[in-house]
Amino acid sequence: MKKTLVSALTTAIVVGAASTTFAAANPFSDVPADHWAYDAVSQLAADGVIDGYGDSTFQGDKNITRYEMAQMVAKAMAKTDVSAQDKALIDKLAAEFSDELNNLGVRVSNLERNADKVKWNGKMEYTYASNRIENETKSHKEKTNSNELLFRLEPSAEVNDHWHVNARIDAKTYMNTDSGDDDNSDNAKLKRAYAQGDYKNFSTQLGKFGLYTPEQGLVFDDEMSGAKVTFGKDLKASLYAGRLNLSDSALAYNTEKSGNGRTFRDDTPDIEGLTLQYDVPTSKLSGGAAYYHLSSDGFKGLTGKASHDTLNPGVQYKNGANNSDEANIWSLNLGYNFDGTSRISGAYAQNTEADNLDHSWQAFYNYKGAQAENKNTWGAYAGYRYLGTYTSIFGTQDAQVVGAKGWEIGADYTPFKNVVASAKYFNGKGIESDRDAQTLWGRVDFLF
């Protein structure tokens, strides 16, 4: 393999030094500037793996030949000290330019090229959570434990230069009962299935895809069915519309219906959204704004569930008539990177349709972070979260529960490559009830 790589590099150097007469005679077609390989090679250049034409540029938006691109790929293949992410890019580029690489002496078989079109990623994940919530008389705390084991597969298949199809399949079991959820049987569910098209400064997703809102999941952290388009370079705008299943959301779990209205299980909400986000890797500052609109009869007559493990029993979505079938939520987020290790961030969201529990906010300080591909990397964070039930409708809730306010701390560590351990602790109170709430949360991920 070393001899092959040396041969490839030698040939690339000779070709690079050859006269313009040779270049004019090369038989390969041009690579258009919107080809996905441009972004891949640009990423490798930014990571210091390759250096373009030698002056760290790609000479603007000019088309370059596939032969020139193959020379860059050959140089990248000769590097051994590259990250797992860069290695994946190199492998994909090698499959795309296999014919040209063969002419340079770097052989890529048809089997390798075709196999590269379908990739499988996944993980096995164990999560432990212990929640302690003070009862209504504040005489003692109700304790709830869970031991969840998740197995996830995420296939991705290339359709052409711009389109991929992706999926996510989850199977869960609960180790404390040795059973799955819902019908007490182990289960496998298709969580995501969508087509994604990526073009220069434009991308789209069609199907059932992930919905993680840019304020670090303060409002939504789940999936939706529909369509999403994103465009822009430094400032990106996203528009999406479709349906959102709230039947197993924090909102549904913490509320119940008054009267004879339909629940979220009976009436899946429509959702429309618009986000504007500035997030450039080379910039220390990031931020954005968003607006979400939902409509469902499930919002009519919502009130806090009277249960020992919910924090705000009896608190209504709308006072009086309780006849609103909408949620209108806007949000703002801002972040700043002090250096390569420290970051502060904050976000605020409000549901203008709700009369109670109508806003959420959070502020975090993050230090470093565990990297799955790098052993012994670690990170830690501390933050304050205020999660209004009728605003953080499907928000991220690991240690903290929706409907509570308080402090959260956590840390993660990579003891072995592709094995990440995380721990979090939350200490706070119910927003309206002022009842104590604590959560101890831990997770181990085995990534493949």
* Sign of the dihedral defined by the CA atoms of residues 348, 354, 355, 357, in that order: negative
pLDDT at 11 over 50: no
How many other C-beta atoms can be found within 10 angstroms of the C-beta atom of residue 49?
22
User: What stretch of H or E contains 189?
Assistant: strand 187-199
Q: Which domains does the chain have, with CATH numbers?
A: 2-115 (no CATH), 118-447 (2.40.160.10)
The tokens describing 41, both together, are: 């090679």
Q: How many helices (DSSP H) and strands (DSSP E) are in the chain?
A: 8, 20
Nearest alpha carbon to residue 401 among 211, 194, 133: 133
The percent of residues in the chain predicted with pLDDT above 90, rounded, is 52
What would the mean pLDDT of 46-64 be, rounded to a whole number? 58
What would the mean pLDDT of 59-86 be, rounded to a whole number? 73
* Range with lowest mean pLDDT among 98-102, 124-128, 419-423, 434-438: 98-102
Buried b or exposed e, range 237-253, using 16+ CB within 10 angstroms: ebebebebbbeebbbbb
Please give the pLDDT value at position 265: 85
- What angle, rounded to 10 degrees, do the helices at 66-77 and 2-17 form? 140
Please give the pLDDT value at position 376: 96
Per-residue pLDDT tens over the stretch 359-377: 999 999 999 999 999 999 9
Buried b or exposed e, range 427-441, using 16+ CB within 10 angstroms: bbbbbbbebbbbbbb
Report whether 354 contacts 327 (CB < 8 A). Answer: yes
What would the mean pLDDT of 407-417 be, rounded to a whole number? 97
* Range with lowest mean pLDDT among 72-76, 155-159, 275-279: 72-76
- pLDDT category at 30 given cuts 50, 70, 90 is low
pLDDT at 111 over 70: no
pLDDT at 78 over 70: yes
What are the E-state strand segments in 308-355?
Answer: 326-337, 342-351
Please give the pLDDT value at position 94: 82
Please give the pLDDT value at position 334: 97
Please give the pLDDT value at position 315: 92
Give the length of the chain: 448
Question: Which ranges of 26-109 would DSSP assign to H, the alpha helix?
Answer: 36-46, 66-77, 84-96, 98-104
Please give the pLDDT value at position 114: 56
* Range with lowest mean pLDDT among 45-59, 84-98, 116-130, 307-321: 45-59
* Range with lowest mean pLDDT among 26-30, 42-46, 100-104, 188-192: 26-30
- pLDDT category at 323 given cuts 50, 70, 90 is confident
439: which strand partners? 131, 426
- Give the Cα separation of 426 and 407 in Å (integer): 6
pLDDT at 198 over 90: yes
What would the mean pLDDT of 330-344 be, rounded to a whole number? 94
* Range with lowest mean pLDDT among 9-18, 46-55, 64-73: 9-18
* Sign of the dihedral defined by the CA atoms of residues 398, 400, 403, 407, in that order: negative
Report whether 406 contacts 434 (CB < 8 A). Answer: no
- Give the Cα separation of 252 and 246 in Å (integer): 7
What would the mean pLDDT of 247-270 be, rounded to a whole number? 85
pLDDT at 207 over 70: yes
- pLDDT category at 447 given cuts 50, 70, 90 is very high
The tokens describing 377, both together, are: 């990397």
- Give the Cα separation of 311 and 135 in Å (integer): 9
- Give the Cα separation of 41 and 35 in Å (integer): 11
pLDDT at 161 over 80: yes
Is pLDDT larger for residue 347 or for residue 71? 347
Phi-psi region of 207 (alpha: psi -120 to 50; beta: other; left: phi over 0): left
In the Cβ-directed half-sphere of 1, how many Cα atoms lie within 13 Å? Answer: 5
Query: The tokens 């059973």 sit on which residue?
Result: 179
What are the E-state strand segments in 213-269?
Answer: 221-231, 235-243, 255-257
pLDDT at 14 over 50: no
- Give the Cα separation of 250 and 221 in Å (integer): 11
Please give the pLDDT value at position 426: 97
- pLDDT category at 122 given cuts 50, 70, 90 is very high
Cα 313-307-395 angle, rounded to 5 deg: 70
pLDDT at 56 over 60: no
- pLDDT category at 348 given cuts 50, 70, 90 is very high
- pLDDT category at 281 given cuts 50, 70, 90 is confident
- Give the Cα separation of 73 and 82 in Å (integer): 13
How many other C-beta atoms can be found within 10 angstroms of the C-beta atom of residue 233?
9
